[in-house]
Amino acid sequence: MFTSLSDRLSATFKNLRGKGRLSEADVDATVREIRTALLEADVALPVVRQFTATVKERALGVEVSKALNPAQQIVKIVHEELVGILGGETRRLRLAKTPPTVILLAGLQGAGKTTLAGKLALHLREAGHTPLLVAADLQRPNAVDQLSVVAERAGVAVHAPEPGNGVGDPVAVATSGIELAKAKLYDVVIVDTAGRLAIDADLMDQLKRVRDAVQPDETLLVIDAMIGQDAVQTAAAFDEAIGIDGVVLSKLDGDARGGAALSVVTVTGKPILFASVGEKLTELETFHPDRMASRILDMGDVLTLIEQAEKAFDAEQAERMAAKVAKGDDFTLEDFLEQMTSLKKMGSLTKMLGMLPGMGDMKAQIESIDDRELDRVASIITSMTPAERADHTILNGSRRARIARGAGVEVSAVNQLVDRFVEAQKMMRQMRAGGGMPGMPGMPGMGGGKRAKAKQKAQVKQGKGAKRSGNPAKRAAEESAPAAGAGLPGLPGSGPAGLPGGLGGFDQAELEKSLGELPPEFKGLLGK
């Protein structure tokens, strides 16, 4: 969503690096570039004017002139101001003191309210609530059926007494839904209303009557993040007509310029509560202004990445793996399959890597990653017998041919997986021995600088049965292979991190800062 804005801002700040002191001309040029970047991102003009004026005032102030690194100080100012126009602090749902909490969803036609209702219901169910979806959209064809399907996928209850398609009274449906929730002890009610045009007086009046009947604790406006400036006008119109408490941005994973997110809070004064970042029901995120500002400035969003990892990786599984490593047991293909399954629960690898700081310069490599490779690797491993998964050394030629036929791949794919897995085992053994992770010099506890490199090369050179080729090119390849890291075994075309495109060239300081708090299993799968 913010790719073009992020690229422009990153290029602007690069011009400031290396300058020990910034002149007023430097500040003016930087602010001018920021203004252009925001306008190109379709941010509302009043917001751009206010933002750039504040940044310029602070950039010419004492806090920059006395800073040890003025360029970094300006980045800090821009980050703080971005957080401000995005809402400042994270706004959570307000729950009623006496259940049920009633949430009314409103928005234009096609904004994605029905799907958002299912995502929000799943989000609340995972948080320990018992939500009830109410199908009060009786205008759009098959809207009631769609909500019923979404509710089933989310594993929540739905109240749909009317068939819809123009039949039924939405006020009566919403009211009976509240009564059902009280009787059945549902603690949250999400009312899905019909999409409407802001200029449609009849439909807006209907929405007012639904609001008055259910007295919602939260009235949330669902805005399509891809409609640009119209999002601000829509939010203002709905706020004037029915009064909204917050905004939910849908389709934030699209390729639009993102100006809606940067404008709606300042113009309407209403906070953004959630952001829909994909088509799956699980792809709904609580909107954190500080984290979104960091993403825009290519500073990453490691906190969200950690939260996703904590959800995906089972604590019991992590303890079992840690105990296995501590006892000296080898990392097996069965273990790898289990951890890869957990990794897939976190979502797209492209999105996860995009949350790491400094990934702006590697967009092409990240976007080339094919998540289907994980499925191919899983199909290869599941085509093996339990004995083969436990001991890969028994995989002779005939076994590999049988596995390839079972997985529907070439034998070369099986060979690549096994080769990568051998490197992963070496990495786990080195971690157990306290030698750190291959290919990660300079990181605490993960190998260390020149000594680690020398030790690693010595281990390769003095390994059992190891022979150096007389061909200089082949010998160089042999010596560098173990140091390349294990990464994700079996991904064709993998680079040092085991990912397509060779994503091993991360900035070491940024990686140390970013990956320090991630679960060990996650770091192991990334080859870090």
- Pick out the residues of the known binding site for GTP: 107-114, 192-196, 250-253
Residue 420: partners with Cβ closer than 8 Å, 6 or more residues away: 486, 487, 488, 489, 490, 491, 494, 498
Sheet holding 157-159, edge to edge: 157-159, 131-136, 188-193, 101-107, 218-224, 246-250, 272-276, 284-286
CA dihedral 279, 280, 286, 287 (to 10 degrees): -20
Residue type, 83: V
**Strand ranges, E, within 268-385:** 272-276, 284-286
Q: How many CB atoms lie within 10 A of CB 516?
A: 12
Name the nearest CA neighbour of 482 among 414, 413, 436, 442.
436
Q: What is the DSSP letter of 133?
A: E
Three-state DSSP state, 32? helix
Angle at 445 (CA atoms; ends 442, 447), nearest 5 degrees: 45
Q: Where are the alpha helices (DSSP H) in 269-332?
A: 289-296, 302-312, 315-327
Torsion (CA) 9, 12, 14, 20 in degrees, nearest 10:
-120
Which CB contacts under 8 angstroms, 24+ apart, belong to 212-215? Answer: 213/171, 213/174, 213/175, 214/102, 214/104, 214/174, 214/175, 214/177, 214/178, 214/189, 215/102
Binding-site annotation: residue ranges: 107-114, 192-196, 250-253
Residue 242 one-letter amino acid: I
